[in-house]
Structure 1
């Protein structure tokens, strides 16, 4: 009988209740709708994509952010939390063993009901010695009324709940999935951090370029005012033209301040992303840099590549796996629990003979607990875990669709901005030619100063719009890099798992 029970326990130990997880396979389009490349285009090489801007300063900022950025550090702490949770879950596979030791001293009442028995025993033991205390003694370990007895104990106790129905295995399974989710979230934090640093850097460089254009315009307007002042002295320039030129100069000077403030705000943002105080990078980033080159075009590759590249998709899939394992934990709670307990102690009324064989006391017990009535608590928990798994599945679907949308949005923005950029470049060339023509006619007296000022304002506006378009094109490319997964595999590891990332066998999840 005992052997049969042992075989039954071993057979049950091989199963785990609840659904076995199978990762979903979302439907991916054959190619991106906004992509100009054919569907056979190779996947984009995203490793170190920010190096395409050939800016050592930017490379240094990204390296500092990946090493010291608080967002990445926060994600790393969450990996540590998940690993600690996995250790807690895994510890339930093993017995819980405790060591204990103590001494107990008890004084017996003179007026208790058993005092006459103790007194008789005490009187019958002529050679009994007192263990201490006034008014009484003990014999054979029994204290006299009014006396006391001291007991010494040392030993171990152990308890072990058998994982017959796999509840602990499901807990460990879910905990490991959450570790992997935390790692993918950390990689997603890296992708987002790099994209934010580069984006803020481009915004700062745009502000610096716009500031340069604005200051050049102030210098040009100042020179014009000086020339007109000299001409007015000999009667060649009307006083009204000088007044209008002063107004134009004041407007150009007023445009500089907001642009400078915008650039400083971007410097503050970069410093915080690097884990520094907002003013820490002002001096270093205020040094003008050469004009940035246009980054190369990015082939988006196939939509199916996105499912493997995007860290947020991988994290959402791992969260779904963890939620599915939680169902098994709840289902296991519907089944009986089997506990083994044991205790081994040394107990004696004398410390001198405590560590002898005669002081040994051993106890062992086996217990089975069968759930009978809990008014729906356990079944309600199972229903709750299934609903949470369904929620995780929907969140996974949302993440996948959102990733496809991010790529499509970035592609259409890049294409339309490229078209706008070409038009703006042509507009700047035409505006400069028009200014030259109007200025020549003004010098010969064929037009008044108003025409010249209008032409100058047109050139300034077109140059400013072109600078913003150049920056917007770079920022749209940053959005595409981020939407495609951001090249996390080329970044420093964030305390990731020792095992290789899981490549799931996609199929629809089923909940029992």
Structure 2
């Protein structure tokens, strides 16, 4: 019998040695993440060759529009927009998930206590117990570490999503503001033109009564004034919609900004030409590209987690307990028991579920890798389109300015000749119509220049560079601790800024 004890302990000792060596050495399975390398052009096709010193200045780019009210509205939107608030909540969620994943790498311990009173043969006895259990899943093949990496990449992605939301928000506020100012300018032009055309109609009617004009001229003059006035309701509607959109973007009721925007101001116009840098800059500046790259990294780590789950796992567990007949004897005159030891779990048969889970993770990673490449191409396309649009619109605006100048002179001459009786009414009518059309087109071109400037800065990755506090929850619970349950619940009050 004595000769069998050593033979029984050898396998146990060997297992302990193997587990200890595994703990010290550690293993890892699955792919290691590497940043993707994408070949990009050296220059933009629609811009001059840029040098390293011509990196685009994207911080507070909207200040180049030189409109203090626009600056205020953008700050209010960053503070009150609901999409921004949602993105901040996603950051808090991702941050908590990261801490949760990190906790899987550390041991856990639970305390327990119990008290029982038993009766046997009219005799009562008390038993008091206290103890704690501890366990630690050894991350033998890196499953938990990969899960933590995935959560960290997910936190990075949530931060980039917030940056992307801010970029879109600021662009939308600026674009709608420019649009609103454009409609204001076009409304002023329409009112002035209607007034001028009505004066012409009155003059024509006077000449008709004096026998110096025909009834056809009178009707044409009145008809043109009415036709121009018919544009006004559409312009008012479009202006109101732009103002309502800005209000909602800032987290306010649609009518909240009507008084602040009522006073007509000039259409914002950028003071300087926008530097575009080089295409490689978008990999750093565009938050949607950075978001796609972080998501690709996240799902690469999930592949490693899925692969590690196909391998054995080792856990170390232990517990200690104290039992006594009196509460004061716990830890003193009490019986103490303990246990400690490793356990090994080896996946033998699972109907291919673990392998399938790994293949799912690999397919998801492929999708996000493709999404990253697509985001890069979309960014390149956005910049190229914006460069061409802004360049050509400036050329168009210059030509329209010349055209408007000539039409204005033609109207002046036609008006003087008509009043002196040296020109027909049809010449004056055509001159008025052409001038109004040219001036309206020039205003629309000014709006387009500012809009294209905004689009170019968005395409380059310009956004908010200020501090964003993502730690404050949207809803603060008044009481989260233990309490008596209440049947009635107070409603959550929702209020919008006015």
Shorter-chain TM-score range: 0.7 to 0.9
Structure 1 residue 92: deviation in Å?
Answer: 0.8
Question: Which of 132, 139, 157 is 2:119 aligned to?
Answer: 132
Structure 1 residue 313: deviation in Å?
Answer: 1.1
What is the alpha-carbon distance in structure 1 between the residues aligned to residue 37 and residue 453 of structure 2?
29
In the other structure, the counterpart of 2:467 is 492
Q: Which runs of 5+ in 2 are unaligned?
A: 1-12, 472-498
Structure 1 residue 26: deviation in Å?
Answer: 0.8
**Is contact 1:41–1:299 with CA below 8 Å preserved after alignment?**
no
Q: Which runs of 5+ in 1 are unaligned?
A: 106-130, 139-147, 497-512
What is the alpha-carbon distance in structure 2 between the residues aligned to residue 473 and residue 453 of structure 1?
31
The DSSP-based 3-state class of the residue aligned with 1:102 is strand
Q: TM-score, normalised by structure 2?
A: 0.87
Alignment of 1:368-447 (within 5 A): 368-447=344-423
What is the alpha-carbon distance in structure 2 between the residues aligned to residue 495 and residue 291 of structure 1?
35
Provide closer, same or farther for how the CA distance between residues 101 and 294 of structure 1 changes in structure 2, counting only shifts above 3 A. closer
Residue deviations 1:261-304 (CA, integer Å, cap 9, x gap): 11111011001111111111111011112453443211211111
Task: Tell me, yes or no, if structure 1 residue 311 matches structure 2 residue 324.
Answer: no
Structure 1 residue 480: deviation in Å?
Answer: 0.5
Alignment of 1:447-462 (within 5 A): 447-462=423-438
Provide closer, same or farther for how the CA distance between residues 287 and 46 of structure 1 changes in structure 2, counting only shifts above 3 A. same
The DSSP-based 3-state class of the residue aligned with 1:368 is strand
What is the alpha-carbon distance in structure 1 between the residues aligned to residue 469 and residue 151 of structure 2?
18
Task: Tell me, yes or no, if structure 1 residue 224 matches structure 2 residue 211.
Answer: no
The DSSP-based 3-state class of the residue aligned with 1:214 is helix
In the other structure, the counterpart of 1:478 is 454
The DSSP-based 3-state class of the residue aligned with 1:312 is helix
Provide closer, same or farther for how the CA distance between residues 242 and 272 of structure 1 changes in structure 2, counting only shifts above 3 A. same
What is the alpha-carbon distance in structure 2 between the residues aligned to residue 352 and residue 31 of structure 1?
81
In the other structure, the counterpart of 1:337 is 313
The DSSP-based 3-state class of the residue aligned with 2:254 is coil
The DSSP-based 3-state class of the residue aligned with 1:340 is strand
The DSSP-based 3-state class of the residue aligned with 1:46 is coil
Instruction: Please identify, of 40-49 and 313-322, the stretch whose mean Cα deviation from structure 2 is larger.
Output: 40-49
Structure 1 residue 31: deviation in Å?
Answer: 0.6
In the other structure, the counterpart of 2:130 is 154
What is the alpha-carbon distance in structure 1 between the residues aligned to residue 270 and residue 188 of structure 2?
19
Structure 1 residue 36: deviation in Å?
Answer: 3.1
Question: Which of 11, 20, 23 is 2:32 aligned to?
Answer: 20
Corresponding residue pairs, total: 458
Alignment of 1:87-486 (within 5 A): 87-104=99-116, 132=119, 136-137=121-122, 151-351=127-327, 353-486=329-462
Provide closer, same or farther for how the CA distance between residues 28 and 377 of structure 1 changes in structure 2, counting only shifts above 3 A. same
The DSSP-based 3-state class of the residue aligned with 1:132 is strand
Query: Which of the pair has more CA radius of gyration?
Result: 1
What is the alpha-carbon distance in structure 1 between the residues aligned to residue 240 and residue 87 of structure 2?
28
The DSSP-based 3-state class of the residue aligned with 2:54 is coil
**Is contact 2:178–2:268 with CA below 8 Å preserved after alignment?**
no
What is the alpha-carbon distance in structure 1 between the residues aligned to residue 426 and residue 324 of structure 2?
112
Task: Tell me, yes or no, if structure 1 residue 83 matches structure 2 residue 95.
Answer: yes
Structure 1 residue 349: deviation in Å?
Answer: 4.8
**Is contact 1:16–1:169 with CA below 8 Å preserved after alignment?**
no
Structure 1 residue 436: deviation in Å?
Answer: 2.5
What is the alpha-carbon distance in structure 2 between the residues aligned to residue 472 and residue 493 of structure 1?
31
Structure 1 residue 386: deviation in Å?
Answer: 1.2
The DSSP-based 3-state class of the residue aligned with 2:129 is strand
The DSSP-based 3-state class of the residue aligned with 1:93 is coil
Structure 1 residue 354: deviation in Å?
Answer: 4.4
Superposition CA RMSD, Å: 2.2
The DSSP-based 3-state class of the residue aligned with 1:98 is strand
What is the alpha-carbon distance in structure 1 between the residues aligned to residue 24 and residue 115 of structure 2?
45
Structure 1 residue 368: deviation in Å?
Answer: 0.8
What is the alpha-carbon distance in structure 2 between the residues aligned to residue 294 and residue 186 of structure 1?
26
